[in-house]
Amino acid sequence: MRVTVERNALLKALGHVQSVVERRTTVPILSNVLMQAGEEGLKLTATDLDMEVVEEVAANVLEGGAGTAPAHLLHDIVRKLPDGSQLSIEQPDEGRVAVISGRSRFMLPALPPEDFPDLAAGEPSHEFAIPVDDLAFFIERTKFAISTEETRYYLNGIYFHTLEREDGSVAMRAVATDGHRLARAELPAPEGAAGMPGIIVPRKAVLELLRLLDAAEEDVQVALTQSKIRFAIDGVVLTTKLIDGNFPDYERVIPIDNDKRLEVDTRLFAQAVDRVSTVSSEKGRAVKLSIESERLVLSVNNPEAGSAEEELSCHYEGEPLEIGFNARYLLEIAAQIESATTVFLFSDAASPTIMRDSDDDRTIYVLMPMRV
């Protein structure tokens, strides 16, 4: 293998693939990036065995072939080369890869490319194209609620599925929950997605996908097989295994007859929660909401660090209510709400509460209260 490639193009591609590579791994080949020189240029592949990212870089291929090199090392080297420089990658012998640019010359240890694992995804059952903004919307609105607790592994990702609406159109939903709160986002389903099975996309892949979407312009091509999903984003292909488990029947935990409705200014509410929770020292301390018709009082009572109280004007219909929530959960949901007004729907102090954007019925958030 012998190729010359432009530094900036290679750096961008390496930036994408190297974030898949775990810093510490017990399988040496997994810390390497696979480089394959072919007619179309240089193809870079990195994997952690659950997820794979492949990206092509325009390159001048003098001699075809394949090699591997430590991903983080290669990325650091390329990053430190001067902007706009050309570099050449070659393989003097089987055990080494040479990176040469101007007067710099690096020799890196290489592992045989045949050992590089292949995350081959079989024949897809469903293929569709989804706009970048839609996919980003799904992920951004739900990712905060993904569970990181590993015993309930089926909650460690975002659940995507489609359903038929009452008007006959097909919608796609993204749902995430950690058992304490739940986030659900809904958009019209892309053509070709109807009837796809419900899938759970793991957290790491979701976060990686979001990074790739940042700079993307064209629609994302999605292909789904029984155990994997593949996203093609502007020349970068991300393939990930799906979480093999059953997502809980989340519809049951979204209350439908919560009749106590509170409307409050989103920003003022978030700022007030943030302020009063300053005096809670212990992790997970509750903020109490005392709600009357035109008055919402937020309070925290911490016997040692003092107490805090803040009053907000609001609009509320229903019996006066006192209810406690984890301050962090309130803030995380409030951060998702873009319109000026947040709507709360309560049942009682021990039951799930709904929070939603007053102008946007595409999202719904459910939060379990805290009790002292």
Distance CA 192, CA 124 (A): 12
Q: Least separation, in Å, of the C-beta of 293 and another protein?
A: 26
Closer to another protein by Cβ: residue 23 or 283: 283
User: With contact defined as beta carbons under 8 Å apart, do 312 and 334 qualify?
Assistant: no
Residue 205, H or E segment? helix 203-214
Choose which of 82, 122, 151, 217 interacts with another protein (CB under 8 A): 151
Distance CA 89, CA 174 (A): 42
Closer to another protein by Cβ: residue 171 or 368: 368
Task: Write phi, then psi, for 16 (nearest 5 degrees).
Answer: -70, -50
- The answer to whether residue 215 forms part of the interface with another protein (CB under 8 A) is no
* Burial state string for 173-190 with b = 16 or more CB within 10 A and e = fewer than 16: bbbbbbebbbbbbbbebb
- The answer to whether residue 198 forms part of the interface with another protein (CB under 8 A) is no
Distance CA 147, CA 178 (A): 4
User: With contact defined as beta carbons under 8 Å apart, do 184 and 142 qualify?
Assistant: yes
51-57 and 360-367 strand pairing: unpaired
- The answer to whether residue 161 forms part of the interface with another protein (CB under 8 A) is no
Distance CA 333, CA 181 (A): 9
Task: Choose one: 86-94, 108-116, 178-186, 335-343; the region binding another protein (CB under 8 A).
Answer: 178-186
Instruction: Please give the residues from 309 up to 338 whose contact with another protein meets the rule CB under 8 A.
Output: 324, 326
User: With contact defined as beta carbons under 8 Å apart, do 170 and 164 qualify?
Assistant: yes
80 burial via Cβ count (<10 Å: 0-12, 13-18, 19+): exposed
Tell me the site size for another protein, rule CB under 8 A: 37
Closer to another protein by Cβ: residue 270 or 367: 367
- The answer to whether residue 143 forms part of the interface with another protein (CB under 8 A) is no
- The answer to whether residue 122 forms part of the interface with another protein (CB under 8 A) is no
Task: Choose one: 45-53, 93-101, 134-142, 361-369; the region binding another protein (CB under 8 A).
Answer: 361-369
Distance CA 247, CA 227 (A): 15
- The answer to whether residue 243 forms part of the interface with another protein (CB under 8 A) is no
Q: Which residues pair with 183 in a beta bridge?
A: 176, 365
- The answer to whether residue 147 forms part of the interface with another protein (CB under 8 A) is yes
- The answer to whether residue 180 forms part of the interface with another protein (CB under 8 A) is yes
Which residue in 344, 290, 350, 345 sits closest to 322, CA to CA?
290
- The answer to whether residue 256 forms part of the interface with another protein (CB under 8 A) is no
Choose which of 286, 330, 337, 355 interacts with another protein (CB under 8 A): 286
Q: What is the CA radius of gyration of the chain?
A: 25
- The answer to whether residue 366 forms part of the interface with another protein (CB under 8 A) is yes
Distance CA 62, CA 100 (A): 14
Q: Least separation, in Å, of the C-beta of 119 and another protein?
A: 29
- The answer to whether residue 257 forms part of the interface with another protein (CB under 8 A) is no
Q: Least separation, in Å, of the C-beta of 300 and another protein?
A: 10
Task: Write phi, then psi, for 278 (nearest 5 degrees).
Answer: -55, -35
Closer to another protein by Cβ: residue 83 or 282: 282
Q: Least separation, in Å, of the C-beta of 229 and another protein?
A: 24
- The answer to whether residue 245 forms part of the interface with another protein (CB under 8 A) is no
- The answer to whether residue 368 forms part of the interface with another protein (CB under 8 A) is yes
For helices 71-80 and 7-18, what crossing angle results, to 10°?
150
Q: Least separation, in Å, of the C-beta of 136 and another protein?
A: 25
Q: Least separation, in Å, of the C-beta of 29 and another protein?
A: 32
Task: Choose one: 34-42, 50-58, 193-201, 298-306; the region binding another protein (CB under 8 A).
Answer: 298-306
Task: Choose one: 83-91, 116-124, 133-141, 143-151; the region binding another protein (CB under 8 A).
Answer: 143-151
Q: What sign does the dihedral 154-156-161-166 (CA atoms) show?
A: positive
3-state secondary structure of 316: strand
Residues that bind another protein (CB under 8 A): 147-152, 177-182, 248, 250, 253, 281-286, 301-305, 324, 326, 350, 352, 366-372
